[in-house]
Amino acid sequence: MHSTVEGVGTAGLFADRYRIAGLLGQGGGARVLRAVDLRLGREVALKVLHQGASEDFTRRFAAEARTLARLRHRGLVEVYDYGRADDRPYLVLELVDGPTLADALRASALSVPATVRLGRELARTLAFVHACGVVHRDVKPSNVLIDASGAPRLADFGIARSPVDADAADADATRTGFVVGTPAYLAPEQIRGEGARPAADVYALGLLLIECLTGQRVYPGGPIEAAVARLLHAPSIPDGIPARLARALRAMTRPDPAARPSAEECVELLDPGKPAPPPAGVRSGGRSELRRRLALSAGTACLLLVGGAGSVAFGASDGTEPSARLQPAAATVTIPVPPAPTTPAAEPAAAPAAVPAPAPAADRAPARPAVRTEPPQAPHDNGRKKEGKGPKPPRRGRG
């Protein structure tokens, strides 16, 4: 028996092998279902494209399968199978039976120690991904799953850029200024249409960690508003956090991608057991290059408000939100991109002074956007290296 809702409903048998047990999430291009593999007797997450999915979504879907198949890491979601049934592609994934980070942040902001532990784990995962030549391009809370042990898993490589699928990933670039990703987490260079390299993932991770501390997006609002905001001003670092963490977040969210640390360096920068390093400078390009980039960003932001030549289109990811709630498809928005200005901007202001040490606080987070602090916990090792577990909100299944 085959299910009949959109060809794949929330009950029935799919591909003569997977018994559907429920809906985990849905987006503009695909839905994710909880299922049981009848041959192997295990629960899985079944990601299936919608009927009539565009050629673009189909291409990205196949690229995601190939990318995940070659990436094996404890911080990722394992892929089990890929195929076609009922004339549509499907992907069989490890079922991570837990909430997303977005779910957790809707319940409460995270404490400083929990944020640091999560940040170091995600940085380790990104360091592995980048070492394999892959750029995720869509690091955000809804793409981070929290497994049964409390560890984060980076999911949804639907718009990742991989050398294996360079033609597929670069097809976006053939359309002038086309940008894929979630506008609230894009790096400045992506908004300028310069493409995404590993530094863009580091920038997004920095925004994600600030959001963990405050419980609020750094750049809220619509796609255009969020894009313009980050070109006009740097992210606001929360008060009351350790100086080392504040410096790390500033470094990760620098406007110049060449000045950001690598994901591997972020693991060390976020280590609370090491003394805070001196403020780092621009690693390459010099101050004149940084001034040029900031001038370009500021000029672009101003002209975006009044229009200009050329355009950048924000291409949505498949929008699959790993939760039980159904999500609408993400919008595609076009914003103008003017040429670079010819006069340099003034030298950026010096970094703020070191943030005072955090005062003791209760275990639960105070009202947003205050930051939680709690005594640090000693790392432990039970056969799998961990920094500890973050707070666990109500469980939801997802693959």
pLDDT at 215 > cutoff 80: yes
Q: Are residues 91 and 106 in the same domain?
A: no
CATH number, domain at 14? 3.30.200.20
| Residue-wise pLDDT tens digits, 70-124 | 999 999 999 999 999 988 999 999 999 999 999 999 999 999 999 999 999 999 9
* CATH number, domain with residue 264: 1.10.510.10
Strands 312-315 and 178-180: parallel
Same domain, 89 and 125: no
Residue 267, pLDDT > 90, answer yes
319's CB contacts (< 8 A; 6+ apart) are: 27, 28, 29, 327, 328, 329, 330
pLDDT tens for 324-376 read 332 333 333 434 444 444 444 444 444 444 434 444 443 334 444 455 555 44
Instruction: Please choose, from the candidates 67, 78, 79, 92, the residue with its C-alpha nearest in 3D space to the C-alpha of residue 15.
Output: 92
The stretches of 235-343 forming alpha helices (DSSP H) are 243-252, 263-269, 286-304
Q: Are residues 29 and 106 in the same domain?
A: no
In a domain, 50, yes or no: yes
To the nearest 10 degrees (0 to 180), the angle between helices 112-131 and 243-252 is 40
Q: What are phi and psi of 89, to 5 degrees?
A: -75, 150
104 and 36 belong to one structural domain: no
Q: Are 223 and 282 a contacting pair, CB within 8 Å?
A: no
Which 8-state DSSP code applies to residue 314? E
The pLDDT score that the predictor gives to residue 300 is: 44
* Residues 40 and 112 reside in one and the same domain: no
Start-to-end Cα distance in the chain:
23
* Whether residues 60 and 78 fall in one domain: yes
> Looking at residue 64, what is its pLDDT?
87
pLDDT of 21 strictly over 90:
yes
181 or 246, higher pLDDT: 246
138 among known catalytic residues: yes
Domain boundary among the residues 79, 95, 111 is at 95
pLDDT band at 384 (very low <50, low <70, confident <90, very high): very low
d(Cα 191, Cα 203) in Å, to the nearest integer?
13
Q: Could you tell me if 189 and 88 lie in one domain?
A: no
Question: How does DSSP assign 184-246, residue by residue?
Answer: GG--HHHHTT----HHHHHHHHHHHHHHHHHSS-SS-SSHHHHHHHHHHSPPPPPTTS-HHHH
Q: Indicate which residue of 103, 138, 156, 201 is catalytic.
A: 138
Boundary (domain end) residue, out of 242, 275, 308: 275
Question: pLDDT tens-digit profile of 344-355?
Answer: 444 444 444 443
List pLDDT tens digits, range 169-207.
Answer: 444 443 444 567 889 999 999 998 888 999 999 999 999
For residue 71, the enclosing domain spans: 7-95
- What pLDDT band is residue 212 in, cutting at 50, 70 and 90? very high
**Do 63 and 40 reside in the same domain of the chain?**
yes
Which residues are within 8 A (CB) of 132 and not within 5 positions of it... i.e. 6 or more apart? 70, 71, 162
| Residue range 122-160, pLDDT digits in tens | 999 999 999 999 999 999 999 999 999 999 999 988 777
Residue type for position 365: A
Strand order in the sheet with 42-49: 12-14, 18-26, 30-37, 42-49, 88-94, 79-85
pLDDT tens per residue, range 304-323: 333 333 334 444 454 444 43
Q: Amino acid identity, residue 14? A: F
Domain boundary among 42, 74, 95: 95
